Amino acid sequence: MELSRTDPLISVIVPVYETQPYLRRCVDSILAQTYENLEVILVDDGSTDECPAICDDYAARDARVRVVHKANGGLSDARNAGLEIMTGEYVGFVDSDDWIDRDMYAYLLRSMSGTDAGIACCDVYYVSQYKIKYKYNHTDTVYDKETALNDLFFDKRENYAWNKLYRAGLWRDVRFPKGLNFEDLVTIYKTFERTSNVMYLREPKYYYVSRPDSISGTKDYRFRRDIFRAVITRYHDVAPRMPQYKPALFRRVRNWYIHELCRDFKNSPQNDPISMKLLDILAPFVAEVKDDIADILNFEPLERRKLDAFARGTREGCLESLACHDLMWKRRNAKKK
């Protein structure tokens, strides 16, 4: 692809930490892009394997590559280091164990040309040890900010940094929170707030690799603790400013987390000490917001009782909450027959 003088520079930020088996595949896929006007920022986050040398090798061979070597600070800190030095008009993120189709950035940028969209999102291939899958979307869609935020909070769209191209100005004063997993959950919506429209494109171009040893590949105590904290942090930031999104922001807690934790108390009593630690995080939040949410959504008495029981923050309360949940589903299923 020949560049014209008007082709904008795209900065691609790649945080790198202990991903030696995957790093060359990742960087090669970026450097092979049909859109060539790239600034590829490899942020070595204190890797102890061969990643630092691999990054330096790419910088020596391709002038588009810049390398930052820094002490380990985590994914957020590495991305932030890239954001501090990027010079592009647009910016994207690629995790160093993933890879992208060779036309991804051309595809995303083309969709934004001549529009006021600040963000373009492609679909995603989900790569596991045994297969690659994706959900087929039939059409490209332009969402206004309000619809895009609602779908993001409702998890109808991916809360990920990496399958997107952003106008760089959206990241002015926006940074990922250091030391918190699920950093995308508490960050990406801030860029959505700053744009008029978001493009959602139907074709998958990003290959997301799910590894058993990664944070997203486990569901241990730390995973659940951090996702609870992220959801609560996001609610406290957004709800006072945009109360219309309260039901969407509470959806994960209502539909998944309360039920999962209560089920743990019933089915895995040997894990009660861990479950109690998680309950100590989630129950006070539910107690804080439950009446407001129940009024907005006009909950039936049994669902209000479910929240009240959980909010007590006890094992017995969780078992009562679970009984309410199961009874609600039994009644609803009976009505369908």
Element (H, E) at 118: strand 117-127
Element (H, E) at 274: helix 272-297
CATH of 10-215, one of 3.40.430.10, 3.90.550.10, 1.10.150.20, 3.30.1360.30: 3.90.550.10
Token pair recorded at residue 130: 């045994």
Cα separation, 139 vs 63, in Å, equals 37
Q: Which residues contact 148 (CB under 8 A, 6 or more apart)?
A: 119, 157, 192, 197, 198
Cα separation, 190 vs 169, in Å, equals 12
| HEC sequence for 60-73 | HHCCCEEEEECCCC
Sign of the Cα torsion 261, 181, 251, 158 reads negative
Per-residue pLDDT of the chain (337 residues; tens, 9 = 90+): 444 557 999 999 999 999 999 999 999 999 999 999 999 999 999 999 999 999 999 999 999 999 999 999 999 999 999 999 999 999 999 999 999 999 999 999 999 998 999 999 999 999 987 778 777 676 899 999 999 999 999 999 989 999 999 999 999 999 999 988 899 999 999 999 999 999 999 999 999 998 665 544 446 898 899 999 999 999 999 999 999 999 999 999 999 999 999 999 999 999 999 999 999 999 999 999 999 999 999 999 999 999 999 999 999 999 999 999 999 989 888 877 6
pLDDT for position 4: 55
Cα separation, 308 vs 69, in Å, equals 50
Q: Domain residues of the chain, as ranges? A: 10-215, 219-336
* Model pTM above 0.75: yes
